[in-house]
Structure 1
Amino acid sequence: MTTTPAREAAPAVDDATFEELVAPLRREIFAHCYRMTGSVQDAEDLVQETYLRAWRAMHTFEHRSSLRTWLYRIATNTCLTHLESRKRRPLPTGLGQPAADPAREPQPDRDRTWLEPLPDALVWGTEPVDPAAETVTRDNVRLAFVTALQHLTAQQRAVLLLREVLQCSAAETAEALGLTVAGVNSTLQRARAQVARLEEDGADGASPDLDDPRTRERLAAYVTAFESYDVPGIVKLLADDVVWEMPPYPEWYEGPAQIGTLIGTWCPAQGPGDMRLVSAGTANGLPAYGLYMRSDDGVHRAFQLHQVELGPDGVTHVIAYFDTALFAAFGLPETWPQG
């Protein structure tokens, strides 16, 4: 009678060695957690939880797969556990209601969790990335793609991301999620169809070339119009089919005239200088700005964060996030200095 020799336990790994092994993967694990949850703040917490679980389980890592695959498996299951008791994060346009009447005062829905923008600097920063090893691309964190993911079940998201973005095999995905290969394939088919339909309905365009003089000119005009509280000027910059959203307000608005009425009626600004629009870099490949509103004491305080999409005929989509906690994620202060 022969016996199979017991597999030797992996040697212990100290803190410094573990950090050296996993640090290069942090940004892509963060992007994966963001795609799964639609939240920058949740993604930060889940990366920490993933690394804690990986540290505790490092002695079980048998090198049958790459460290990257093993870590993604832990991250995906950490996200799935997190999502068990949480609802999806939509944008207002994803709730199914028609465009709202701008003459009616918007009412916030703070009981719902909303999709958050991804600061590109948190993923790419300033360090060069080897394209051959790149698993996080501008395409797979596009706003339309991340928005569409939020309409899938958590399991569908996991399957789609593992198969399509990370290029895991059906067998690897099944093992990671505790599914059968047939189950993975059928789930992937449904997820692909759903995402394709949603992206077609709400597709965003390619990220604008921020070095193009015409793009810079149009964005500068957008900033000037807001800081001057020039509502007609804002309206002129909007495309005919422009959409305006303001989470946590569930209402959304369509068309330049409607959006002009909304801003002119409900914006608390009274005149030029009441608003400051400060560049926050890019988010999901789109220009982002922190809007500061002047209070009665003369101090400009964080008010909303704009994510601006441009098309050939002007601004086609603005999401004004009224979650000032996002300012910190973009490296923006709570107040803006005078002058």
Structure 2
Amino acid sequence: MAGRVDEVAAHAGERGRVAHCYRMLGSITEAEHVAARTTSLATATLECLARAAERPLPTDLGEPSDHPEGELHQRPEVTWLEPIPDEFGDGRPIGLDLIAALQRLPARHRAALVLTDIEGWSPSQVSAAIGSIDIEEARSLFKPLPGHAADQGELLDRYREAFEQYDVPSIVQFFTDDAIWEMPPFTSWFRGARNIGRLISTHCPAEKPGDQVLIPIKANGQPGFAVYMRDPADNVHRAFQLQVLTLTAAGIIHAVAFFDTTLFDAFNLPDLLAGLPPHLYDGSPRPHVERLHRP
């Protein structure tokens, strides 16, 4: 029994370090790597500071686009912010808007803020670990956007069905008038439900119902979907994007569609869906997705 307790404690400790490193680095890939190499928050923080670089979202790089039908430009050289699966949560704040705001801070300010306001360290403990830093200055620079405030299961079910039916007018109705849609590594981002609809109508490769399949996920303590798109060449659904949604009682206020399909592995999701029913809305069972085994 003691061995099992020790194993559970060790796993919880590593999960906590993963969440801490993710707040520092904005990358689940790097966070797992650092957490596996370190044994305490202090050493993990120092390792993160040695690696720290700003990981932005498109909203950090410029103004919204007024031309949803226009050409979309990518910047694959940018190290973009990544989402984190909820399985790595440690019970402390980890919302996507909070992580994006942390990424805008200088690295040592970020570390001081995370250690004091999230991990609960005292200023003297922070100074001993990373050196003296003005925590009040860090707090004054920290400006997160409104975060996730409501889980609406029925809304999410209808949103999922609207996407799978490729019903753009219905999709638009789920977004608030000032909602934001962004999709790294594309630098263009869009504000407003109408512009989001124009974007999807113009650039989404879906053409008809069934071309897209959405699998619910939880990321950053928020709802989202893994989107699979039909490949017409061989009629299979391949990994396309991960959507992370920010909801309020009024509807969806922010959607980030991550087009880095290597993130599907972090969420234990396959690269393609097999065994789908010929028609998703003819009463056939919903597709069952086999999660990948995490070593």
Aligned runs of 1:270-289 on 2, under 5 Å? Answer: 270-280=207-217, 282-289=218-225
Larger deviation, residues 303-312 vs 29-38: 303-312
Residue 96 (1) aligns with residue 62 (2): yes
Which one has a bigger Cα radius of gyration? Answer: 1
Aligned runs of 1:32-181 on 2, under 5 Å? Answer: 32-51=20-39, 71-83=40-52, 87-123=53-89, 136-138=90-92, 140-177=93-130, 179=131
1:28 to 7, 16, 25: 16
Q: Match for residue 189 of structure 1?
A: 136
Tell me, yes or no, if the aligned pair for 1:105 and 1:266 is still in contact at 8 Å.
no
Give percent identity, aligned residues only. 41
The answer for unaligned runs of 5 or more in structure 1 is: 1-15, 52-70, 124-135, 210-214
Instruction: State the one-letter code of the partner of 1:190.
Output: E
TM-score relative to the length of structure 2: 0.87
Secondary structure, counterpart of 1:241 in structure 2: strand
CA distance in 2 between partners of 1:263 and 1:109 (Å): 20
Structure 1 residues 332, 162: closer, same or farther in 2, change over 3 A? same
Aligned residues: 272
CA distance in 1 between partners of 2:82 and 2:241 (Å): 12
Q: Match for residue 263 of structure 2?
A: 326
Aligned runs of 1:241-320 on 2, under 5 Å? Answer: 241-280=178-217, 282-296=218-232, 297-320=234-257
CA distance in 2 between partners of 1:50 and 1:117 (Å): 22
Structure 1 residues 26, 101: closer, same or farther in 2, change over 3 A? same
Structure 1 residues 237, 23: closer, same or farther in 2, change over 3 A? closer
Structure 1 residues 104, 46: closer, same or farther in 2, change over 3 A? same
| 1:313-336 deviation line (CA, Å, top 9, x unaligned) | 222111110011111111211111
Residue 234 (1) aligns with residue 203 (2): no
Q: Match for residue 147 of structure 2?
A: 204
Structure 1 residues 240, 171: closer, same or farther in 2, change over 3 A? same
Aligned runs of 1:208-219 on 2, under 5 Å? Answer: 208-209=150-151, 215-219=152-156
TM-score relative to the length of structure 1: 0.76
| 1:105-135 deviation line (CA, Å, top 9, x unaligned) | 2111101011111111233xxxxxxxxxxxx
Give the superposed CA RMSD: 1.9
Structure 1 residues 160, 75: closer, same or farther in 2, change over 3 A? same
Residue 223 (1) aligns with residue 223 (2): no
Higher helix share: 1
Structure 1 residues 304, 24: closer, same or farther in 2, change over 3 A? closer
- Following superposition, the deviation at residue 100 of structure 1 comes to 4.3
